[in-house]
């Protein structure tokens, strides 16, 4: 929790005086809009959804509430859904994203510049596009995916993984992460509060990249951690147009029409 407390301390001045005015709880993404027009969307981890009618309560509860209050859900939310909405508020208020023209230069990097020949890459979360791009350039890849049965997922994805990559249960992180030269961590680890545990096993890693939609983009908060780079996504001024398609089951294809990639060095 220490890392998220640092994040919130940096975010609080930018949340002050702002209100949550709209949001969406879709099948694949959740999102928010603040009264200054700022929007952000977070990948929904459906395997951890609360049951029945409880699923919709956080969305209704946040409307009209201060951004500083809903932003604290990132730290104190009762479940992944509530914490995701809190994280979306923090990012909707973040002033630290680069300008779009600066971000586009790194749009296709996806972690490749971090690799050296012979590297073992650890990946937290099954990120298919990153696996496809990075696997030819590393010696070995070990992948951990909370949402899937490792053996079943391995069989489903064997054509992609080939001989160089394998999927392992989360319980083996403490054993295998210390063997990795580069570690790529999904931003959803911030939502489920596992980031600091993961980082505690990255002592050998030369590079640690935190990436995705779901981590709070306040770069200074990560300066005293093993994280060396952030790979993030942020949204343009027209992104409120996503609320309707996401409410109808839209996914990443729709989201990326309004998004910009950026990669930021921490150290």
Task: List, for residues 198-223, the tens digit of each pLDDT value.
Answer: 999 999 999 999 999 999 999 999 99
Q: Is the pLDDT of residue 58 over 80?
A: no
**Interatomic CA distance for residues 203 and 61, integer angstroms:** 41
Burial class of residue 20 (count of CB atoms within 10 Å of its CB; 0-12, 13-18, 19+): buried
pLDDT for 55 equals: 65
118-151 confidence digits (pLDDT tens): 999 999 999 999 999 999 999 999 999 887 788 8
| pTM, entire model | 0.91
**Interatomic CA distance for residues 262 and 244, integer angstroms:** 26
Give kind and range of the element (H or E) at residue 208. strand 207-212
- Domain segments of the chain: what residues? 2-97+236-259, 100-232
**Nearest Cα to 5, choosing from 221, 170, 266, 204?**
221
pLDDT for 56 equals: 64
**In this structure, what is the dihedral angle of CA atoms 131, 134, 140, 141, given to the nearest 10 degrees?**
-30
Q: For 37-60, what is the mean pLDDT?
A: 78
The DSSP output letter for 45 is -
Q: For 57-71, what is the mean pLDDT?
A: 91
Percent of all residues in the chain with a pLDDT value above 90, rounded to a whole number: 78
Phi, psi (deg, nearest 5) at residue 149: -70, 120
- Whether residue 207 contacts residue 229, with contact meaning beta carbons closer than 8 Å, is answered with yes
71-99 confidence digits (pLDDT tens): 999 999 988 999 999 999 999 999 999 86
Class level of CATH domain 100-232: alpha beta
pLDDT tier at 49, thresholds 50, 70, 90: low
2-97+236-259 and 100-232, same CATH topology: no
CATH 3.30.390.100, domain 2-97+236-259, yes or no: yes
């Amino acid at each position: 929790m220490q890392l998220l407390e640092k994040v919130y301390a940096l975010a609080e001045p930018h949340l002050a005086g702002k209100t949550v005015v709209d949001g969406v709880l879709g099948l694949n993404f959740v999102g928010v809009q603040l009264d200054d027009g700022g929007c952000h969307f977070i990948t929904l981890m459906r395997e951890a959804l609360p049951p029945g009618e409880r699923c919709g309560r956080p969305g209704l509860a946040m409307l009209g509430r201060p951004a500083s209050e809903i932003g604290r859900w990132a730290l104190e939310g009762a479940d992944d859904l509530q914490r995701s909405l809190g994280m979306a508020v923090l990012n909707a208020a973040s002033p630290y994203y680069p300008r779009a023209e600066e971000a586009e230069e790194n749009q296709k990097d996806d972690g490749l510049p971090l690799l050296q020949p012979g590297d073992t890459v650890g990946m937290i979360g099954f990120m298919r596009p990153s696996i496809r791009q990075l696997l030819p350039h590393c010696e070995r890849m070990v992948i951990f995916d909370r949402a899937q049965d490792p053996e079943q997922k391995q069989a489903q994805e064997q054509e992609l993984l080939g001989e160089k990559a394998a999927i392992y249960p989360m319980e083996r992180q403490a054993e295998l992460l210390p063997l990795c030269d580069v570690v790529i961590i999904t931003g959803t680890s911030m939502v489920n509060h596992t980031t600091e545990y993961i980082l505690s096993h990255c002592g050998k890693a030369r590079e640690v990249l935190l990436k995705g939609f779901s981590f709070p983009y306040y770069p200074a908060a990560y300066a005293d951690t093993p994280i060396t780079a952030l790979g993030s996504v942020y949204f343009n001024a027209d992104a409120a147009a996503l609320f309707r398609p996401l409410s109808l089951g839209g996914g990443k294809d729709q989201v990326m029409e309004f998004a910009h990639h950026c990669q930021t060095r921490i150290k």
